Structure 1
Amino acid sequence: MSLTGVIPPVCTPLTPDYEVDTASLVRLVDHLLTGGVNALFVLGSSSEVAYLTDAQRRTVLDTVVGHVAGQVPVLAGVIDMTTPRVLQHARVAVEAGASGLVATAPFYTRTHPDEIRTHFRTIAERGGLPLYAYDLPIAVHTKLSAPMLLELAAEGALAGVKDSSGDDGGLREVILGREAPFSVLTGSEVTVDSALWMGADGVVPGLGNVDPHGYVELYRCAARGDWQAARTEQERLVRLFEIVKVGGGRMGGSSSGLGAFKAALHLRGIIDCPITALPQTPLNDDEVGQIGKHLATAGLL
């Protein structure tokens, strides 16, 4: 399954008592589909997957896959520490009707590259769906090297990669070295135009929850070779991405970033409650007000 275009990692709206808000989740999915996105990625970092119980993960999968009803592919994050746990999530994703799986390298345990290869090969063999690697060294403390990705791609173990490593040189090495069909997707919100210019197939932007139309327009400009228009739209989105910094140094990066996305979605009337999962620190009223100003500047309020 070759993926291209804009594939937002869907936020998970929560109720004030920290349950999945399925009504808001459906509105968010409709907002993304109306924005023209090409696929959806649930249960990733922007979905707060690390904070969700297994039951909540299943609720998200059933809600999104059921509502999308085949309009676009739905990728399911099966992110967990070790291969047996990932395979449990994969079985649930298959039962829910997901189109593909997304997995990181193992984490918490100290691993060797050969063990990481075994991890992906085992998921590919037993998972039952196309597998996409999620290169996220800031969270799992392992960088997936270009040679490893290209090797697994050539074997058919991987259908693609979401590169959130920030290593543009490594990204280019994968793009230049691939031979078999293999989707290369950037996870950066702020260098999408340059990644597409290098030959990347698409983007998985957390900020795409807030402004899917903007990323779709950027992708379309690049697809028709209008790089100046793509740059102009990218620079508007770079300025909008400043919302992730409003939490400053008083909270973790996830609290600030995910809180900003949810506050923006709440201000735009898409989700009912901007709360983030425990133990993340919530944004205060002043910070939410700053996000509102960024949205107004970007033409989104």
Structure 2
Amino acid sequence: MLRYAATRLISLTLSLVAASLVIFAVVEVIPGDPAAYMLGLNAAPEAVAALREDLGLSGGLVERYLTWAGGMLTGDFGTSYTYRVPVADLVAARLWISLPLALYALALSTLLALPVGMLAAARRGRVTDYGIMGFTQLGIAVPNFWFAMLLVVLLAITYPIFPAGGFPGWDAGILPALRALTLPAVALALPQASILARVMRSALIETLSQDYIRTARAKGLTEGQAIRNHGMRNALIPVLTIIGLQFSFLLAGAIIIEKVFFLPGLGLLIFQGITQRDLVVVESVVMLLVFAVILVTFLVDLAYALVDPRLRHAR
């Protein structure tokens, strides 16, 4: 197990280094000068040059990359060109919205998808299976921002159960904060639950055709007992992959939902950084999200090893 974890950790560390090079190169080749953008079109060249020097943009690419990467390793993400505050403070404030929202949506989608996928697999080829597959196809096809607006109309305006937007902050209490995140989480969870339920169904159907499942049935186990006791564990491997990918998407890809519900999260911060040419914010936040994706991938790999003993003992 330790050998497997060390191998995966080395591989993911190299992926992190490669991702930092790609992110820095892509952001640096985007047209536009942040100093010229901040001072306006009629700014004097001397003022632009002075501001570039003040922002640390006058050095070479290699020097700037090493400075940025070294700062990331020590927890110094630099200072925002636009807000003139440390990027770490901006990220910390936004992370306490995006991270709970992603976890909330992931929990909702997982709690809904796993039993639904198991039911569809147990009733495969029947009316229940066809109905579940039809609803999951609809859940994938419906745009989440349109579903979000329907939720606002129904549960925030027609029946004012949840707030229509905004975030009161965690200082206002856990319940008001969770109420503000409920509709966005449901809007994000719908397509993810649909995808996860279909993957769960397919994985279970494939598992149920194996010889050891037929042996379990021959020993007198019912279909449900065979799924729960023997099929579920082996079917979890592709499901874990989808859950890991979904968490990464929910953490970084909720820009539209954050706009609909006026949530100042990480996605909105990246969008603002791009439009304002705040390069250090874009580079640092994207790098943090890449690190989150790689970390989740590493944890999913460890979960594979726990679920599948063959990986723990493979050389």
TM-score (norm 1): 0.25
Q: Quick check: which one's helix share is greater?
A: 2
Higher RCO (C-alpha 8 Å, min separation 6)? 2
Q: Quick check: which one's strand share is greater?
A: 1
TM-score (norm 2): 0.24
Radius of gyration: which is bigger?
2
